[in-house]
Amino acid sequence: MRPGAKGEVTVLVVAGLDPTAGAGLAADLEALGAVGARGWPVAAALTAQGPRGVRGWSPVPVEMLLAQVDALLDGAPRRPGAIKTGMLGTAPLAHALAKRLSARDLARVPLVVDPVLLSSSGALLLDTAVASPLEALGPLLERARLVTPNLEELAALTGCVTGEDEAAIEAARRLGARAVLVKGGHRDGAPIDLLVEGRRVTRFTGRRRPGTARGTGCRLAAALAGLLARGATLAEAAGGAKQVVERYLDAERRRR
Ligand code: PLP
């Protein structure tokens, strides 16, 4: 099928390749499939990882990132219905991507930014040697329809303490994005997500599952982008994507 053929809901995903498929592009495609959308995976970085964690990673050259996007769109019958970004690796890649996604052909396509900074095994997935996380991701956050940090990412981006709801909401407002979904998976107690749109805050409550799984953040943001591409509102997409992640966690537990 040609990319963007009639009737297809497509989402451009720009992220890292994790060969375990636990997180990154492969996980994004799975989550998009779960909401009836097709992903167009564009690699910003390759990672070497397995059951024992991340052994290394390498960003693609900036020109290659842009070439992937341009080749995909050139001749495609329609634009993607949404865009999702995950691991971007370096500030130059994040800046070049923000500029490309603001160009006329893509500027109106809703963008979901998952600000990936670390792997769950602790490896740094955004090089902060020359730019802070906020300097690296700032232009993308401004372009985004929604940013989906967990509490640690929100703290790293804003320099604020984010433990209590009110502090997290205040920090979310400082990101300079139109809307922020603060993920509660890492907090104590029930995993409550907070959707902060200016003064409005919507809470999404869930039931905590025992244990941990990788790639839940990737999957949430990808499913959310897929639902936005299908015409859902932000709140509908956030609720629907949370269910996709819960079903994934339950299925993973049964597999173990
Ligand atoms: N994206 C990629 C390509 C990754 O390799 C990882 C983690 O290794 C992540 C995102 C973050 O996923 P998680 O926090 O579940 O480890």
d(CA 22, CA 190): 23
The closest residue, in CA terms, to atom 11 on ligand 1 is 119
- What is the overall mean pLDDT for the chain? 93
- Within a domain: 178: yes
- Index of the ligand 1 atom closest to the CA of residue 54: 8
- Within a domain: 5: no
Percent of the chain exceeding pLDDT 90 equals: 82
From ligand 1's centre to the CA of 215, what distance in Å? Answer: 6
From ligand 1's centre to the CA of 104, what distance in Å? Answer: 31
| Number of domains making up the chain | 1
pLDDT band with cut points at 50, 70 and 90 for residue 185: confident
Structure tokens of 142? 């401004």
SS3 33: helix
- Within a domain: 3: no
- Within a domain: 84: yes
From ligand 1's centre to the CA of 38, what distance in Å? Answer: 21
From ligand 1's centre to the CA of 63, what distance in Å? Answer: 23
The predicted pLDDT at position 187 comes to 72
pLDDT one-digit tens code per residue, 15-59: 999 999 999 999 999 999 999 999 999 999 999 999 999 999 999
Residues 134-162 have a mean pLDDT of: 95
Q: Which of 83-97, 126-140, 152-166 has the lowest mean pLDDT?
A: 152-166
- Within a domain: 1: no
The predicted pLDDT at position 1 comes to 43
Which residue intervals of the chain are DSSP H helices? 24-34, 62-73, 91-101, 133-143, 151-158, 165-174, 216-229, 234-255
- Within a domain: 208: yes
Q: Tell me, what CATH number does 242's domain have?
A: 3.40.1190.20
d(CA 177, CA 110): 13
The closest residue, in CA terms, to atom 12 on ligand 1 is 215
Structure tokens of 226? 């897929």
